Amino acid sequence: MPFYLEIIICVSLLIGGIFLLIGSYGLARLPDIYMRLHSPTKASTLGITGVLVASMIFQSHLKGFLSIQEFLITLFLLITAPVAANMIAKTALHYRTKPLEKTQNQELMETIRNRETPNQSHDQQ
């Protein structure tokens, strides 16, 4: 394997590993569900993408043609992670999970629960 491919693979694995570490730390340490949503949907998705890109480059070199499996997995993750986070947030709002005081935009939670537009809720007050 050429040295430049080894460097690209190592850098991709290192970047992916750093993002996975940050995402795991954030998932464990962030205090409420609304803050915890950012960790797996952003940092961990980027981390998995870095690892899968490294795997795609390595497998493409071994096979001699482009390895598409890793690309499809990455595409699936990048599409489904925001949808899953949205569903988790909607579930937390539906069950009226209390946010911490430092969570921003808490005044919009009741508007979201009632499915109003922000202009409708301000006009009624």
- The pLDDT tens digits of the residues spanning 40-76 come to 888 888 999 999 999 999 999 999 988 899 999 999 9
Instruction: Write down the pTM of the prediction.
Output: 0.77
Residue 94's domain comprises: 3-124
Q: Number of structural domains, the chain?
A: 1
- The pLDDT tens digits of the residues spanning 7-39 come to 999 999 999 999 999 999 988 998 888 888 888
Residue 102 vs residues 26, 61, 106: alpha-carbon distances, Å:
16, 49, 9
